[in-house]
Structure 1
Amino acid sequence: MLAIRLLAEPDRLDTVAQPVRPAEADDAPAAPVPTAVALPDGVAEEAAALAPAARLTGRAGETRMQLRPGRTPGRLLLLGVGAGDEAGWRVAGAALARAAKDETHVTVALPAEASPAAARGLVEGLLLASYRFRLTDAGDAPALTGVDVLVADPAGYTSAVEVARTTARMTRLARDLTNTPSSVKNPEWFAGQVAAAVGDRPDLHLRVRGPQELAAEGFGGVLAVGNGSANGPRLVELDWRPAGARTHVVLVGKGITFDTGGISVKPVPAMKLMRKDMAGAAAVVAATLGAAALRLPVRVTTLAPLAENMLSGSAFRPGDVVRHHGGVTSETTNSDAEGRLVLADAISYAVQQLAPDLLVDLATLTGANAVALGKRTAALYSENDRLAAEVLAAVDAAGEAAWRMPLPADYVEHLGSELADLHSSPDRGAGSVMAALFLREFTGDLRDRWLHIDMSAPSWAEGDDAELTRGATGWGVRSMLRWLATLA
């Protein structure tokens, strides 16, 4: 990641970024914002003259580079920060990372009134927009390696910047896990990556169940989905258990390391990005590691059911009946509706064995999510108004997006089956809603303390957009860390 320093005075002035905000009056030009630390003589005046001449609006993310041959700094970058709130600075930080990608070092001066939250937004934007995924070391390293942030009192911003660093690092981890091709990534590999990230930390507890343990403990959904692959399934259980924690949250994430659709095979265009079908598992694992790194006083247990949904002679069939953890059975007529089968096992286990206070699952569950809400917004389901409002507020503060969807009582009858307790994939439309209703059947006494997020569409970006880069977005890591911090 970029090396970011907080300084009270500059010690290097190759390229300086000067913040610009929109004018207060409609007919006035945008103007640079006075900075907390004085810049070299002539810079502020030049920025004030350049902003109206360049017809800058001051909107967040707007940039203009001015060369200053023979002078210090040699380049002046005008940087739109919008209203100057955390969201505006996050967008500005992302724009700065891209506008200065060919520089080696940049100094950005914050306004005197900039809050620690503004610094957090700037640093998150810088670190997330500068992310690049490479499976090998081939290719040129990025030119930009360091950013200095000038503030009058660095100590007042240190905590916010450290939280931003941790949040960005964990989001980048989730992106790495999701971007990794499935020729490398299988359930065993994913579990190994979690083990490597945990290391020898005594305050993090990791258990990985293999096929034999899953069979012995009745995880029939995970086994059914993973049965068609030569790479056996796993269940990762990661526990952050700080002393004195008064709230226990279980996070569950769908971990299909590749999804062919099984016997209900997907068409090629729908299959080519199915390495991302474990983005939910990546997000909840990274969020738990982040909670430990930030030492949040909340107990967090993550469950990541991992399987490859492959097409073979041993694959589960449409019409099969699956016996889930806890004994509930489900009939499936679509082997491409596999995510809910592995999640049902994990949710049932959490309810019956872990007794959490709150239960949240994240899953790249349905394409119907994108039909309803587009590419940037996740679908959120919960019967608990307070829990839904608190998570939605955290999602918004993190710069992600979600929309609460209904759980209609009159749809429940469609889950009926002549062969089993439930039908996992009734062909009744409302795909995202029906999937959520199916999962709710496994929440037991936690039904009113459960929240489900269908985040298939926003888990992937087709191109660079603000702090997102093309590929995996790491959706949910930032939101979960914000929410867990509020519980603390």
Structure 2
Amino acid sequence: MLDIRLVTGPGRFDTLVLPVRSVEGTDAPASLVPTAVTLPDDLVTEATALVSAAALTGAAGETRLHLRPLATPVRLLMLGVGDGDETGWRAAGAALVRALAEETSVTVALPADAPPEAVRGLAEGALLASYRFRLTDAGSSPALAELEVAVDEPGRYDAALDTGRTTARMTCFARDLTNMPSSVKNPEWFADQVAGLAADLPEVDLRVWQPDELAEAGFGGILAVGGGSAKGPRLVELGWHPAGATTHVVLVGKGITFDTGGISIKPLSGMKLMRKDMAGAAAVVAATLGAAALRLPVRITALAPLAENMVSGSAFRPGDVIHHYGGLTSESTNSDAEGRLVLADALAYAVDRLAPDVLVDLATLTGANSIALGTRTAAMYTENDELAEALVATAAEAGERSWRMPLVGDYVEYLGSDLADFYSAPNRGAGSVVAALYLREFTGDLRDRWVHFDMSAPAWSSDAKAELAKGATGWGVRGLLRWLATLG
């Protein structure tokens, strides 16, 4: 991972990055920002002239590289930071590593008036944009290995840099989990990866429920979905329980390590990227580990119900009645609507055994929301206005968008089954809303403190853009960590 560190002066450097700020709401031209470290007068004069000659706007992420072969620094990058807030610096950090990918070391001269959030944004943007996932050594990787941030008071920015590093590292961990091909990734493998990282963090508890334990406790949804695979299901229960914490949050993430659709088999086009169907589970375990690394003063339990939905003689069928943890039953109407079955077990278990103050689930549940919200925005469902406002706001600050959708009461009747308590996936339209209503039935007396994110589309990016790399995005990790930090 890119090494980012604070320095008190650029010393001798080959590549220097100077921030350019826009003046929002005015017709004033962009301006070079006075830096915290002293630069030679002739360099400042030259850079100021470049801003004007190149008609730079200072828009966040704007770059212009200037070569100075007979001078020091040899390369000068003018970098737009918008109005200088965290969002602008995040975009700037991402643009910087893309523009200077062939360099090995660069120095950013931070503005004299930059708040700590600027360093957090810069670090997150640079680290996330420089992420690569490959299972071969062949191919191009960024040469950039070192990013110096020149400041006058490093101690002022240490905590912000540490938070940015940790947030990016855990987001990249979630990306790694999600990107891994399912020839390697199965429920046992996923649990092993979590165990490996959790072992490095004190005061983190981990329990991995084995298939026989799931059967004994009555986790019928997880067992049904995983029943068609030679790779048995698991339930990862990960806890960060700091002393003195007064709020307990349970995070639940859908963890289908590959989804063929089961007997209701998907077409090839719909199956190729189904290694991403555990992105919700990846996000909740990564956010919990991140909270532990940052020592956030809030109790968190992450539940990742893990199964591989395969086609075989032991696969569950449309029409089967599934007995969930806690006693409620579902009539399966479509084996490709499997995610809600494993989530139902985990939600019911959380309510029955963990007694959280807040219950949040993340799931690549439906593709319906992308039609309305596009590929960068998740759908949120909750009855709690305060929770909705807080989660939308903190996720937006972190660079992750969500939009609250309605829980339409009239649609509850769609869930009625002649054989069981509910149909798992009634085919009557409003698929994302009905899926959320189905999950709500398993939240018991926590239904007014429950939030569901349907995040299938933003869990994956088809190209590298801003801080996103091509492939898994790690959606949810940044937003959850930002929100959890407000609960202490």
Q: TM-score, normalised to structure 2's length?
A: 0.98
| Other-structure match for 2:184 | 184
Letter in 1 for 2:429: G
Distance 1:12 1:181, change over 3 A: farther
Cα distance, 1:51 vs. partner? 1.3
**Could you tell me how far apart the structure 2 residues matched to 1:24 and 1:373 are?**
27
Summarize deviations over 1:350-382 as a string: whole Å, max 9, x none.
000111111000000001121221100000011
| Other-structure match for 1:70 | 70
Aligned partners of 1:125 and 1:467 also within 8 Å:
yes
| Other-structure match for 1:216 | 216
Cα distance, 1:323 vs. partner? 0.4
| Other-structure match for 2:423 | 423
What pairs up with 1:145-294 in 2 under 5 angstroms? 145-199=145-199, 201-294=201-294
**Could you tell me how far apart the structure 2 residues matched to 1:171 and 1:409 are?**
35
**Could you tell me how far apart the structure 2 residues matched to 1:201 and 1:457 are?**
31
Moved more, 198-207 or 434-443: 198-207
Cα distance, 1:25 vs. partner? 7.6
**Could you tell me how far apart the structure 2 residues matched to 1:116 and 1:50 are?**
28
Aligned partners of 2:322 and 2:330 also within 8 Å:
yes
Distance 1:81 1:324, change over 3 A: same
Cα distance, 1:18 vs. partner? 0.6
Instruction: Name the SS for the 1:445 alignment partner.
Output: helix
What's the C-alpha RMSD, in Å, of the aligned pairs? 1.1
**Could you tell me how far apart the structure 1 residues matched to 2:441 and 2:241 are?**
28
The reply on whether 1:397 has 2:397 as its aligned counterpart is yes
Aligned partners of 1:40 and 1:72 also within 8 Å:
no
Summarize deviations over 1:320-361 as a string: whole Å, max 9, x none.
111000010001111110000000000000000111111000
Distance 1:149 1:201, change over 3 A: closer
**Could you tell me how far apart the structure 2 residues matched to 1:200 and 1:3 are?**
20
Cα distance, 1:30 vs. partner? 1.9
**Could you tell me how far apart the structure 2 residues matched to 1:384 and 1:19 are?**
41
Aligned partners of 2:400 and 2:479 also within 8 Å:
yes
Count of residue correspondences: 488
| Other-structure match for 1:309 | 309
The reply on whether 1:451 has 2:448 as its aligned counterpart is no
Instruction: Name the SS for the 1:177 alignment partner.
Output: helix
**Could you tell me how far apart the structure 1 residues matched to 2:116 and 2:98 are?**
23
Instruction: Name the SS for the 2:413 alignment partner.
Output: helix
**Could you tell me how far apart the structure 1 residues matched to 2:27 and 2:382 are?**
46
Summarize deviations over 1:147-181 as a string: whole Å, max 9, x none.
11111111101100100000000000000000000
| Other-structure match for 2:111 | 111
Letter in 1 for 2:237: E
Aligned partners of 2:407 and 2:437 also within 8 Å:
yes
Cα distance, 1:23 vs. partner? 4.2
The reply on whether 1:33 has 2:40 as its aligned counterpart is no
Aligned partners of 2:459 and 2:472 also within 8 Å:
yes
Cα distance, 1:142 vs. partner? 2.6
Letter in 2 for 1:345: D
Structure 2: segments with no counterpart, 5+ residues: none
Cα distance, 1:464 vs. partner? 1.0
Letter in 2 for 1:153: E
What pairs up with 1:350-429 in 2 under 5 angstroms? 350-429=350-429
Letter in 2 for 1:478: R
Instruction: Name the SS for the 1:487 alignment partner.
Output: coil
Cα distance, 1:138 vs. partner? 3.7
Cα distance, 1:207 vs. partner? 0.5
Aligned partners of 1:194 and 1:285 also within 8 Å:
yes
Cα distance, 1:269 vs. partner? 0.8
Aligned partners of 1:226 and 1:307 also within 8 Å:
yes
Letter in 2 for 1:332: S
Summarize deviations over 1:111-143 as a string: whole Å, max 9, x none.
111110111101100100000012233445531
Cα distance, 1:28 vs. partner? 4.0
Letter in 2 for 1:460: W
Distance 1:48 1:267, change over 3 A: same
**Could you tell me how far apart the structure 2 residues matched to 1:133 and 1:221 are?**
32
Summarize deviations over 1:406-442 as a string: whole Å, max 9, x none.
0011111111000100111001111110100000000
Aligned partners of 1:229 and 1:311 also within 8 Å:
yes
Letter in 1 for 2:106: V
Instruction: Name the SS for the 1:300 alignment partner.
Output: strand
Letter in 1 for 2:163: V
**Could you tell me how far apart the structure 1 residues matched to 2:462 and 2:138 are?**
23
Instruction: Name the SS for the 2:486 alignment partner.
Output: helix
| Identical-residue share of aligned pairs (%) | 71
| Other-structure match for 2:319 | 319
**Could you tell me how far apart the structure 2 residues matched to 1:43 and 1:433 are?**
58
Aligned partners of 2:360 and 2:450 also within 8 Å:
yes
Instruction: Name the SS for the 2:215 alignment partner.
Output: helix
**Could you tell me how far apart the structure 2 residues matched to 1:324 and 1:25 are?**
56
| Other-structure match for 2:49 | 49
Aligned partners of 2:332 and 2:424 also within 8 Å:
yes
Summarize deviations over 1:66-100 as a string: whole Å, max 9, x none.
00012110100000111110000000000001001
Letter in 2 for 1:237: E
Instruction: Name the SS for the 1:206 alignment partner.
Output: strand
**Could you tell me how far apart the structure 1 residues matched to 2:371 and 2:219 are?**
32
Cα distance, 1:384 vs. partner? 0.6
Cα distance, 1:38 vs. partner? 1.5
**Could you tell me how far apart the structure 2 residues matched to 1:400 and 1:28 are?**
31
Instruction: Name the SS for the 1:165 alignment partner.
Output: helix
**Could you tell me how far apart the structure 2 residues matched to 1:178 and 1:246 are?**
32
Cα distance, 1:11 vs. partner? 2.9
Aligned partners of 2:406 and 2:433 also within 8 Å:
yes
**Could you tell me how far apart the structure 2 residues matched to 1:418 and 1:389 are?**
38
| Other-structure match for 1:129 | 129
